[in-house]
Structure 1
């Protein structure tokens, strides 16, 4: 029978405390080390701790870091987590009075949220850097494919001609907006909770700005209650991540559709194709399927974190900590796999011009420009022109010939509608219904014509540069802080 007077209960130990301990030693040892050192430096600089006491603690922290092998640590129930293990080691080496001084004016509450922010900060920075690489490679591929014709689909049906470069530019535009949202969410991680203590700060004259500086934050998070109750840094980050991979999932679905045998306008290279074990003629572009489910898993993992916060109290709570934080890290793992695989796949794929031409011919996708041409050259209303174009399209589809072979049908439809012969001759008709002309005349802001595409790609590159500068400033601040902390902490060692 279980002894209900002794902590921890074995089931609680196995289901909660041991998994938390294992996660802490894997993810949080580095951040806890940095927080211990930054807080100690501040206590010494502000005169809250005598320098000799701070020096003893600093030397003990160095010894603990050198002597404890995290890989060999196993949960025994003696310590709740890595934080308490370090505290116990300090007590063993220095005695309770000196060891306990390190915890002056702080709490597990402000420490936990600072730890989580430090971990998420690094993960978000790595993800944004990877997203930047993909965005630049998408721009490069869009330039390469600027003039490559494709069929654009709406409602699953062939609609109009455009270029693969125009399509990829649209992908980049959305991806850049997703990057901006992620960059903004990353900004929420730049405010340090340290100094909030349990809820209300401290009666000691602590310097919250100094600790924030030493840990590489832009500034302290102001309201101490919000430091331990506000989880918008979590929900905001994972919401932004979710949108990025939800939107990429739509592009991945297009790749699946375009590479289908019946459509066939996207060619996936052999290096990204698996052959059926029984049907040797089948080329299965299964990386696209893996991309689709990995993107969906990322969305689901982000949702799991955000939804866990739903209807929780506005206070310090385990619902935003420990296991929930670790569960969220899996979203970064699958997200990274998606970005890496997309960055390998998209530049390697190509458009099959023969299938594009066949699908354009079969679906009369240029007929809209025939109607537009009639409005411009013949002075017709668009509705009149639309009716003539529709009759022409019905005729060539019924005969199974491409639209360029429909001049006679066009002449008849024009005469029936207007009571006169068209001014557009056979040569002009052929130009009007060509895919190349369709794209070329759409030389408008945001359109598919070459000049418009180049202008757009230049703008997207500029946007990425701005985002890259922000990311670099954040990395530089973290690097400076690491050096500053090392210098200030080492100064305590020589006392």
Structure 2
């Protein structure tokens, strides 16, 4: 049997083969026509304007081509299935332009390649998706601040190694989350800065012998600079890796936060209650209020880690140059991850912003807990001038003695402290009942933690005010970038309309 002939008879004897079309070309085309078509058209316009300004085409020639670009039916293109008549979206669009302009339409491709065009389209697409995600992060950060504002005095237990550690406040916890997410913002911001550089003019990989202006095209498209080295422009993929790594860290951080919220919403903890719009019921157990919105956020965050990891794996051990591994097969994974990130931040924001916090239960739990015992040791150091390690030993023994007598922290007395001190240091300390009660009070514990970063209400008010300023700075930067792109797009479209009427 002639296997080769059998396969060719089934697949076809010319490009594209049936299975190649099914697995690669058609899916890539579908992504291109919906996601990359607008960036492609913008690149056509900017490149054409530059060619005229550099006297490489006449204004009359360019006007003819520009009218053809403007006449493209983008909706019709998006509705066109892949049929193999053209290798990809670029050649389809070029063909439609040349159908209206004749041979001169081919001059639009002067001094450029699909290599630099492709990377530029990916960068234009990625920067928009990064800005959308950054906007969603800012909204989430604002919700964290607003919620924290309402809980500066909400005393709760902090945990280390999943065990009761020391009293803090819900505001203190949320501010820690805010700071973590703020670092995510800065990483996304850095990824945007890296992304928003133009590869155009690199052509295939060595630029061109024609006197084009790379900087003018970058300006028209709203890029903030160039990927200067032309080989790096078409071969570098770290802008993708930077975004993927940032996504990974962000998803991981959100997942850890959600894990706490899920634990605290259990009946055993009874610390928080997820609002009705974000819970679901059981089909058989009438009492259930399942906070599945948080479960979905956790699982989707894990999914996002996997999808962004796929981006990095697809880059791994690829040649440093123009290669399909960084293109049509990879890009949708990054786009999906960014969309997921934007959605998760929005959903988590509305869940957090509508939480009911059981302040009374949290405070009572803190009062009964021995999480304040560090302050008893500190009080002995301050009031009785004994070394901390001795004070620590006394405090530790107080906990053991109290537990053996089934006492909670609120029931610790000065007599119990003296009884333990006799055993540990050989004499009573004669500490007053008022000092012991104050040392064991979680509200007092929090109030005196006024050092920078501490949970004291006074310190939290300062910290929240600083973070409002930092968030405003982030929003100002975001607005500036958004406005820059809007202005660039408006300018490009105004020149396009003017030239189309020439």
Partner of 2:382: 376
User: Residue 61 of structure 1: CA displacement?
Assistant: 1.1
**2:369 paired with 1:390:** no
Whole-Å Cα distance in 2 between the matches of residues 337 and 470 of structure 1?
Answer: 21
Partner of 1:413: 420
**2:319 paired with 1:308:** no
Whole-Å Cα distance in 2 between the matches of residues 363 and 466 of structure 1?
Answer: 41
Match of 1:163 among 146, 151, 169: 169
User: Residue 494 of structure 1: CA displacement?
Assistant: 2.7
**2:213 paired with 1:207:** yes
User: Residue 81 of structure 1: CA displacement?
Assistant: 1.9
Counterpart of 2:407 in 1: which secondary structure? coil
Match of 1:73 among 58, 67, 80: 80
Q: How does 1:322-337 map to 2 (within 5 A)?
A: 322-337=328-343
**2:72 paired with 1:64:** yes
Partner of 2:112: 106
Counterpart of 1:401 in 2: which secondary structure? coil
Whole-Å Cα distance in 1 between the matches of residues 106 and 275 of structure 2?
Answer: 63
Q: In the superposition, relative to structure 1, how do residues 346 and 241 fare at CA in structure 2: closer, same or farther (>3 Å)?
A: same
Deviations 1:59-99 (A, max 9, x none): 11111236x5234211111112221111111222222x212
Match of 2:132 among 112, 123, 126: 126
Whole-Å Cα distance in 2 between the matches of residues 361 and 210 of structure 1?
Answer: 67
Whole-Å Cα distance in 1 between the matches of residues 467 and 247 of structure 2?
Answer: 20
Partner of 2:201: 195
Counterpart of 2:16 in 1: which secondary structure? coil
Match of 1:43 among 51, 57, 65: 51
Partner of 1:220: 226
Whole-Å Cα distance in 2 between the matches of residues 363 and 434 of structure 1?
Answer: 10
Whole-Å Cα distance in 2 between the matches of residues 32 and 190 of structure 1?
Answer: 16
Partner of 1:7: 15
Q: How does 1:422-433 map to 2 (within 5 A)?
A: 422-433=429-440
Partner of 2:28: 20
Whole-Å Cα distance in 1 between the matches of residues 359 and 28 of structure 2?
Answer: 56
Query: What is the TM-score of this pair, normalised by structure 2?
Result: 0.95
Q: How does 1:184-333 map to 2 (within 5 A)?
A: 184-333=190-339
User: Residue 268 of structure 1: CA displacement?
Assistant: 2.2
Whole-Å Cα distance in 2 between the matches of residues 350 and 381 of structure 1?
Answer: 43
Whole-Å Cα distance in 2 between the matches of residues 267 and 390 of structure 1?
Answer: 35
Unaligned runs of 5+ in 1: none
Any conservation in 1 of the 2:282–2:288 contact (CA below 8 Å)? yes
Deviations 1:306-348 (A, max 9, x none): 2210110000011111121012111122212211111111121
User: Residue 354 of structure 1: CA displacement?
Assistant: 4.0
Q: CA RMSD in A?
A: 1.5
Whole-Å Cα distance in 2 between the matches of residues 392 and 155 of structure 1?
Answer: 22
Whole-Å Cα distance in 2 between the matches of residues 128 and 45 of structure 1?
Answer: 36
Whole-Å Cα distance in 2 between the matches of residues 361 and 59 of structure 1?
Answer: 76
Query: What is the TM-score of this pair, normalised by structure 1?
Result: 0.96
Q: How does 1:328-347 map to 2 (within 5 A)?
A: 328-347=334-353
User: Residue 362 of structure 1: CA displacement?
Assistant: 5.0
Whole-Å Cα distance in 1 between the matches of residues 380 and 229 of structure 2?
Answer: 66
Partner of 2:471: 464
Match of 2:456 among 435, 449, 454: 449
Deviations 1:139-173 (A, max 9, x none): 11111111101111111111111000000011111
Deviations 1:382-403 (A, max 9, x none): 1111111112111222233221
Identify the range of structure 1 (322-331 vs 22-31) with the bigger mean alpha-carbon deviation: 322-331
Partner of 2:3: none
Whole-Å Cα distance in 2 between the matches of residues 79 and 211 of structure 1?
Answer: 27
Any conservation in 1 of the 2:195–2:239 contact (CA below 8 Å)? yes
User: Residue 133 of structure 1: CA displacement?
Assistant: 0.9
Any conservation in 2 of the 1:395–1:406 contact (CA below 8 Å)? no
Whole-Å Cα distance in 2 between the matches of residues 362 and 468 of structure 1?
Answer: 43
Identify the range of structure 1 (384-393 vs 308-317) with the bigger mean alpha-carbon deviation: 384-393
Whole-Å Cα distance in 1 between the matches of residues 211 and 394 of structure 2?
Answer: 83
